[in-house]
A and B are shown apart, each in its own frame.
Chain A
Amino acid sequence: MTFRSLAAALSFTVALAIPVTGALAQDATTFAEAIGAPKPIESYPKPWPLANLVTPGKLTIGTTGASPPRTFVDPVSGKLTGSYVDLFTKIATDLGLEAEFVKIEWPGILPGLAAGRFDMACDGASMTTARLASKDFLMTAPTGVNATVGLALKSSGIKDFKSAKSIGGVRGEVYFEGAKKALPGVAATEFPGLPESMMGLQNGQVELIAMNLSNALNALQSAPNKEELVLIGPALEVFAQALCVNAKEPDLLVATNLLLGNYRADGTLKAIIGKYATSTAEVDMLDKIGY
């Protein structure tokens, strides 16, 4: 150890002496040599002392249970499942807490978080200026990249957003709100949740539904009417997505960010997403935006 650090210090001074071009490369290797392969941060408090949990000993999480593959209810077992359900459960476990999910429709999630109903919420909420500036809740480091796309029935012949005469989506969601702004004057129907809007599409009550890419890909893969669906692009908007934390719990935000960094580094995040989706592109793309 002492020899290593001595050697490192030595090579550092040597490195300073040699020309600049070679210096950076030299630096990196010597730095790596000095500390070995970096490991995810293990030296965090277990259990983490969280001061303001909604229910002590539990991590209370608000989720829709209506946004496959991230959060949905298995119709047979009736159990809440999905990649973000797993992610929240993992976070809770690593913090030494029991995960408790509260299922409520999307329009109740952020107001519920602001009212102090939950410790955490959002199965990947898109980062927007307004949300990041909000004093009502905090957002973690990004957990994925997502985009606003559409789904239509093949039989409708719709090829792009512009040719839809009516659109639907989830009340209050950014994807739908964005689509409404992008397509002014088109009849818009607001559904309480994603599955309802999928049914509305199937029933011909709307021609196109605006949703996020992750939901859309899942629908194309596993919806009962998957053969009849067609993805409508190009994406109207692209978002970095994150989890939301109760504004009164900055300690939980710090803890979650640390864990998310670990999950990103050791491949846990990718594995969780990959367990429920065919593509892990939403996580892989985090590289491109600096996470």
Chain B
Amino acid sequence: MSLTEIVTPYLPGLLSGFLMTLWLSAAVILVSTPLALLLALLRDSHNFWLRLPATVYVTIFRMVPALIVLFFAFYALPQLGLRLKPVTAAILGMVAVGAAYMSEDIRGGLQAIDRGQWKAARALGLSHAHTLRRIILPQALPLVVPPYMTRAIIMMKGTSLASMVAVGDLTAEAVRASSITYQPFIFIILAGAVYLAISAALVIFQHWAEARLKPAPMARRRV
């Protein structure tokens, strides 16, 4: 049997798996981002009671393997009466973990901005939200992009775990095809190449974003 003969019957399945992987990645990254920003801000808050839960949350979810969290979302939540579809459970689990890691990346960028700027903005009578939105975030953004994109790629690769909680993503479809055709390599290598292509696309996006954000510090210097 030639290679194409083996692969062709599974192409529709692999395509739907690919789309599922894209959908999972997009959903996980996009939902995690605002949550991560919120967590990062809470962790740097002056209020102990805001800081504490955020710190506990981030610590716990960074200590436990993502797979355990996914199992928890899919298999254990029904024990509490919360029944989720496989995809929903997978997204929930991966967002819970991803946001914790991502918040650390964002926090690193925020902390690099001199605390004096907060005080200066306050002295100028700017509100907290205004300071954050117009002064701190624009400066932190170029610093945050590289670790943020690295994290996004890790999260994209991490969606392969969803195959273990009954989601038909790219890995799952490749594994299924291997299982039926007894081909240990073809489908795994094919899937690997597709993941590599997605991560390459993300890297290109990262370079583009970094290039676009570069003029910002210069503009600031001119002010």
Contact = CB atoms under 8 A, between A and B. Distances in A.
Which 4 interchain pairs have the tightest Cβ spacing?
A172-B179, A203-B78, A107-B179, A111-B184
Given A110-B179, A113-B182, A171-B175, 12 more contacts: A111-B178, A111-B184, A114-B182, A115-B184, A136-B183, A171-B172, A172-B179, A190-B176, A191-B166, A192-B164, A203-B78, A205-B74
A190 B17 CA distance: 12
B109 interface: no
Contacts of B175: 107-108, 171-172
Contact of B166 (A109, A134, A172, A200): A200
Contacts of B130: none
Contacts of A109: 179
Interface string A134-175: 101100000000000000000000000000000010011000
Given A199-B75, A205-B85, A168 B166 contact: yes
Interface string B74-91: 110010000111100000
B168 interface: yes
9 contacts: A107-B179, A115-B184, A134-B182, A171-B179, A172-B176, A191-B166, A204-B78, A205-B74, A205-B86
Interface of A: 106-115, 134, 136-137, 168, 171-172, 177, 189-192, 196-197, 199-200, 202-205
Interface residues of B, number: 21
A137 B182 contact: yes
Nearest to B177: A172
Nearest to B83: A204
Contacts of B179: 106-111, 171-172
A204 to B, nearest CB: 5
A237 B46 CA distance: 66
Contacts of A177: 180
B32 interface: no
A123 to B, nearest CB: 15
A98 B142 CA distance: 61
A241 B123 CA distance: 80
B166 A189 contact: yes
Interface string B128-170: 0000000000000000000000000000000000011010100
B78 A190 contact: no
A136 B75 CA distance: 35
**Most chain B CB atoms below 10 A, which of A106, A113, A196:** A196
Nearest to A173: B179
Given A200-B166, A205-B166, A136 B78 contact: no
B18 to A, nearest CB: 16
B182 A190 contact: no
A189 B184 contact: no
Contact of A114 (B74, B168, B172, B184): B184
A172 to B, nearest CB: 3
Contact of B176 (A107, A112, A189, A202): A107
A210 B81 CA distance: 25
Contact of A136 (B85, B172, B182): B182
A107 B163 CA distance: 12
A111 B166 contact: no
Given A190-B176, A192-B166, A200-B166, A205 B182 contact: no
Contacts of A196: 75, 166
A169 to B, nearest CB: 10
A124 B187 CA distance: 25
